[in-house]
Amino acid sequence: MDPDANVSSNWTQVNLDNPWESSAFPHSIFPLGTLLSITTTCALLFVVGVTGNVLTILVTRCCRDMRTTTNLYLSSMALSDLLIFLCMPFDLYRIWQYYPWIFGDFVCKLFQYVSEGCTYTTILHITALSVERYLAICFPLKAKVMVTKTRVKTIILAIWSLALLSASPVLVLVGVEFVNSSMPDKAICRETEFAETSGLLNTMSWVYTAYFFLPLLCMCVLYGLIGRKLWHNTPPGLGHGGVTAHRDRSHRQSVKILVVVVVAFVVCWLPFHVGRNLFLLTSNADRWLKQLSQYFNIVAIVFFYLSAAINPVLYNIVSRNYRTAACRLLLGAPDKHRIMRGRG
């Protein structure tokens, strides 16, 4: 393992020759301006993301009219995004000060495991939401029987279990090692030597690739089928009234939210995915290619945390029901279901 190595995001790593010699900060390869820009951006995302995701959970929990099966998925996904933000301080610490790692081996393994597991969790939630919308729109009668809150809660539990199990190799993949055994102050949280010699790093790269592209393919097919169904239900320029019209508007609203979430997922996580694979391709490349990969990865970190912050913002922009429920919650207005029950 190269003694002069740096880590850019989660368990990705780029080898540079004596990177700290040219850095404005003693134990980072990045100049001070870059460090300040990245930290400021991430701090802003932290505030927006934590506030928005907490609000999403509270809206689903406190507003009865928001306790739909779709919102159960969104609430669970918000929890996953909150856990991702808890890992941000450790990522920023490693960007600013690669060594010494002062938090111990347990924290080194845990925060990267949580980040990896929650990444998979969010992907699986978006996929499950797509399947649910497909059933509700294309097979509404079957959906009424199949898609219940009890089953959705069971699926959510299965999603968390599968995601955390899939991320478990990270507990072996990373750990605290020393650049030089004679210099204990250079403890570094990074890939273990076992990960490189055993090929586990390459294996996890394939796992991550599968978690990105297979769900994306599934979602593209499902939304194509949903779009065709909705198009045939309401030809351009025509409409129908009553319960059917209200149901179709509701379906379109749900699909609109989910399509925007999926697009945001691709835009935000594709750079992170490419960065990991770029590391593998440039591990034996020239210095300038390694440095290009390193800067690409630090930008990908920002997009990664953007993905965890952006969903509540999108709900607020796209969904009128979410805006209404959030305002009602923030203003302390009573739940309309409680008012109706009181009148009864």
pLDDT in tens, 2-39: 333 333 344 334 333 444 344 444 466 777 888 888 99
**Residues 306, 322: Cα–Cα separation, whole Å:** 20
pLDDT at 181: 55
Residue 253 lies in domain: 26-233+242-337
As a whole number, mean pLDDT of residues 85-97 equals 88
Q: Provide the β-strand partners of residue 177.
A: 188
pLDDT tens digits for range 191-210: 777 766 777 777 777 787 88
**Residues 278, 12: Cα–Cα separation, whole Å:** 9
Instruction: Tell me whether residue 316 is in a domain.
Output: yes
Q: Which residues contact 98 (CB under 8 A, 6 or more apart)?
A: 6, 7, 20, 27, 28, 29, 188
Contact 293, 14 (CB under 8 A): yes
Task: Provide φ and ψ at 273, rounded to 5°.
Answer: -65, -45
pLDDT tens digits for range 103-141: 888 998 999 999 989 989 988 998 898 888 888 888 888
Query: What is the 3-class SS of the chain, one letter each residue?
Result: CCCCEEEEECCEEEECCCHHHHCCCCCCCCCHHHHHHHHHHHHHHHHHHHHHHHHHHHHHHHCHHHCCHHHHHHHHHHHHHHHHHHCHHHHHHHHHCCCCCCCHHHHHHHHHHHHHHHHHHHHHHHHHHHHHHHHHHHCHHHHHHHCCHHHHHHHHHHHHHHHHHHCCCHHHHEEEEECCCCCHHHEEEEECHHHHHHCHHHHHHHHHHHHHHHHHHHHHHHHHHHHHHHHHHCCCCCCCCHHHHHHHHHHHHHHHHHHHHHHHHHHHHHHHHHHHHHHHHHCCCCHHHHHHHHHHHHHHHHHHHHHHHHHHHHHHHHCHHHHHHHHHHHCCCCCHHHHHHHHC
**Residues 1, 17: Cα–Cα separation, whole Å:** 13
pLDDT at 321: 73
Instruction: Tell me whether residue 342 is in a domain.
Output: no
pLDDT at 47: 94
Highest mean pLDDT among 20-29, 79-88, 93-102: 79-88
pLDDT at 246: 59
Q: What is the overall mean pLDDT for the chain?
A: 75
Selected residue with higher pLDDT from 236 and 58: 58
pLDDT tens digits for range 217-269: 888 888 888 877 776 665 444 444 555 555 656 666 666 766 776 787 788 87
**Residues 163, 182: Cα–Cα separation, whole Å:** 39
Task: Provide φ and ψ at 12, rounded to 5°.
Answer: -80, 150
Selected residue with higher pLDDT from 342 and 112: 112
Instruction: Tell me whether residue 11 is in a domain.
Output: no
pLDDT at 158: 96
Instruction: Tell me whether residue 199 is in a domain.
Output: yes
Tell me the pTM: 0.77
Contact 36, 302 (CB under 8 A): no
Instruction: Tell me whether residue 86 is in a domain.
Output: yes
The total number of structural domains that make up the chain: 1
Instruction: Tell me whether residue 42 is in a domain.
Output: yes
CATH number, domain at 260? Answer: 1.20.1070.10
Does position 86 have pLDDT exceeding 50, yes or no? yes
Instruction: Tell me whether residue 12 is in a domain.
Output: no
pLDDT at 337: 47
Does position 327 have pLDDT exceeding 70, yes or no? yes
Instruction: Tell me whether residue 124 is in a domain.
Output: yes
